[in-house]
Amino acid sequence: MTGRSRTIWTFVITSVALFMTQLDNLVVTTALPVIRVHLHASLSSLEWTVNAYTLTFAVFLLTGATLGDRFGRRRLFLIGLTVFTLGSAAAALAPSAGALIVARAVQGAGSAIVTPLTLTLLSAAVPVARRGAALGAWGAVAGLAISSGPLVGGAVVQGWSWQTIFWLNVPIGLVLLPLAWRGLEESRGPATRLDVPGVVLASSGLFGIVLGLVRANDFGWTSAYVLTALIGGAALVASFVRWELRTAQPMLPMRLFRSRGFTAANGASVLMFFGMFGAIFLLSQAMQTMQGHSPLGAGLRILPWTGMPILVAPAAGILADRIGSRPVVFTGLALQAIGLGWLAVVVTPTAPFTSLIAPFVVCGFGMAAFFAPTAALVLSTVRREEEGIASGAANAMRELGGVFGVAVLASVFSSHGSYASPHAFQLGLRPAVLVGAVVVGLAALVLLAVPRRGPAVTGTPEAVAAYPTATQPRPTRRKPAAVAYL
């Protein structure tokens, strides 16, 4: 196989794997009402259906590239792809909500291995002169997968069944495995020690906190069950921080947070995902449960929000290059907060779709203005040699923001409303989405703590190869905005 054909094969294999794993972030959202009825799932079970994937993805993301560097990137890519495919088959065959949640956690673990390695493998296979274009296309694939998730999920559920969402991954995975074995070259990176205690402490602590938040409305906030989960989880997270400060090779170097800019930029990102993911979790259900639309109809109606970044992100990235990332990201957060507050007011059981288009578009513009320059903003707050781990940490923290957003906003929803009727759903939806809007507005204020800088700078090729949101070389080329989308 020639060098050019191997590069093409690498791009095809990694892009298909990336699209498949990233699609599963939001593809299940429009299927939740159907899953609730079919599996007799409670609200907490629906939360875990989303959060099991996101939580395991966030926790293990920082270890995916490390495992590849140590044991072989192609080998770990194949292992991760196998885990994801098996998790997809288990999700499709799940006889209960509990089994589905476990399968989604397995999917998330596989995705956490595959996602960073798709970029590492692609970067190593592409000549330096063409790396920028390849990475831009990689970012576009990731952005398309995430934004099209609700629409694809709705179309598949309406045309076939909710199980088909997961069955589609199985033949794709089975085809990719032999192609990856033959078409990808094995490579390794620096042999660093895996931070096993860090992974165990972080995953168990975050699980405890999320468990407490999810079950609070079932058992009460002052119940022994919930307090034990919350306090125990917080103690384990504190132990994780203490361990990371002491160990020689930490999973998440705490020294990064000494930078005010890094802390503020990531704090704003966590809050943004908190409000956005929590709102999408409820609004995608509202289109069906409250307004009576089909799964496909719900996906189409949300598209002005989730699909807008594909159209607007390139322009936002160019604008960030000219005036700096900070004002563009701040504008995006402000627009997202305004759009969510608008939706909280206008979404009712009888609201016509025409009244929802404008707030959905405002949210979409806000999302695009936030995503495009955020990666460059984070990387500009750390030293060059820390860009790779900083980018990976930013990815993990934003996913955790989504996990907590779904848990907390669902808790607000269940405190005020229920699935009993469209009116009861609206009673819970409005305060929950308003909370999301306030949190995103708070994110805009947190972002103001990022020091003012000039036009955005971008990351090194090594940083790009290491983690998903890294960007391309600093001095001469403009960062492709689509790369920052993921």
Structural domain including 373 reads 3-195+249-485
Q: Where are the alpha helices (DSSP H) in 324-353?
A: 325-346
| pLDDT surpassing 80 at residue 124 | no
- Final residue of a structural domain among 225, 248, 271: 248
For residue 482, pLDDT over 50 is answered with: no
368 with 258, same domain?
Answer: yes
Q: What pLDDT was estimated at residue 468?
A: 39
The reply to whether 19 and 122 lie within a common domain is: yes
The 3-state DSSP composition of the chain as helix, strand, coil percent (nearest 5) reads 80, 0, 20
Chain segment 274-333, per-residue pLDDT in tens:
998 889 889 988 888 888 888 888 888 888 887 777 777 777 777 877 888 888 889 999
The reported pLDDT for the residue numbered 483 is: 38
| 99 or 31, higher pLDDT | 99
More confident residue, 277 or 126: 277
On whether both 312 and 458 belong to a single domain, the answer is: yes
Cβ atoms < 10 Å from Cβ of 430: 19
CA distance 68 to 349: 49
Residue 100 is part of a domain; what is its CATH number?
A: 1.20.1250.20
Q: Are residues 219 and 187 in the same domain?
A: no
- In this structure, the answer to whether residues 215 and 266 fall within a common structural domain is no
3-state DSSP assignment of residue 376: helix
Backbone conformation region of residue 418, classed left if phi is above 0, alpha if psi is from -120 to 50, else beta: beta
Band of pLDDT at residue 215, cut at 50, 70 and 90 = confident
Rounded distance between C-alpha atoms, residue 337 and residue 319, angstroms: 21
Q: Considering only CA atoms, which of 222, 273, 230, 298 is closest in space to residue 406?
A: 273
Q: Are residues 96 and 211 in the same domain?
A: no
**pLDDT at position 356 over 80:** yes
Which residue, 248, 267, 285, sits at the end of a domain? 248
Cβ neighbours of residue 374 under 8 Å, at least 6 residues apart? Answer: 265, 269, 325, 329, 394, 469, 484
Query: Which residues have C-beta within 8 Å of that of residue 90, sequence separation ≥ 6?
Result: 99, 102, 103, 106
- The answer to whether the beta carbons of residues 391 and 463 sit under 8 Å apart is yes
The reply to whether 372 and 262 lie within a common domain is: yes
Residues 6+ apart with CB under 8 A from 371: 143, 309, 313, 316, 332, 484, 485
Q: Which residue has the tokens 């939360």?
A: 47
Q: Please report, rounded to a whole number, the percentage of residues in the chain having pLDDT higher than 90.
A: 26
What does the pLDDT read at residue 377?
77
With cut-offs at 50, 70 and 90, classify the pLDDT of residue 456: very low
Give the closest residue to 429 by CA, choosing from 342, 336, 348, 350: 348
275 or 117: which leads in pLDDT: 275
Range among 13-17, 84-88, 287-291, 393-397 with highest mean pLDDT value: 84-88
Question: CA end-to-end span of the chain, whole Å?
Answer: 31
Taken in order 467, 469, 474, 478, the sign of the CA dihedral is positive
Tell me, what's the pLDDT at 463?
39
Nearest 5°: the CA angle 41, 44, 49 is 70
State how far the Cα of 242 lies from the Cα of 237, in Å rounded to an integer: 9
C-alpha torsion sign, points 364, 367, 371, 372? positive
Share of the chain above pLDDT 70, in %: 86
Sequence length of the chain is 486
Contacts 24+ apart (CB under 8 A), 296-300: 296/151, 296/154, 296/155, 296/157, 296/158, 296/159, 297/154, 298/30, 298/150, 298/154, 299/30, 299/150, 299/151, 299/152, 299/153, 299/154, 299/155, 300/151, 300/154
Q: Residue 106: its pLDDT value, please?
A: 94
Query: Which of 227, 98, 192 lies closest to 389, judged by CA?
Result: 192
Alpha-carbon distance 393 to 387, whole Å? 10
**Mean of the per-residue pLDDT values of the chain:** 81
Instruction: Single out the residue of 411, 417, 163 nearest to residue 290, CA to CA.
Output: 417
Distance CA 151, CA 77 (A): 28
Number of domains in the chain: 2
Q: What is the mean pLDDT of residues 400-426?
A: 88
On whether both 472 and 326 belong to a single domain, the answer is yes
Same domain, 231 and 168: no
Task: For residues 282 and 223, state if they share a domain.
Answer: no
The b-or-e profile of 104-134 (16+ CB within 10 A means b, else e) is: bbbbbbbbbbbbbbbbbbbbbbbeeeebbeb
Coil/strand/helix, residue 40: coil
Residues 35 and 124 in one domain: yes
| Same structural domain, 205 and 350 | no
The pLDDT of residue 461: 40
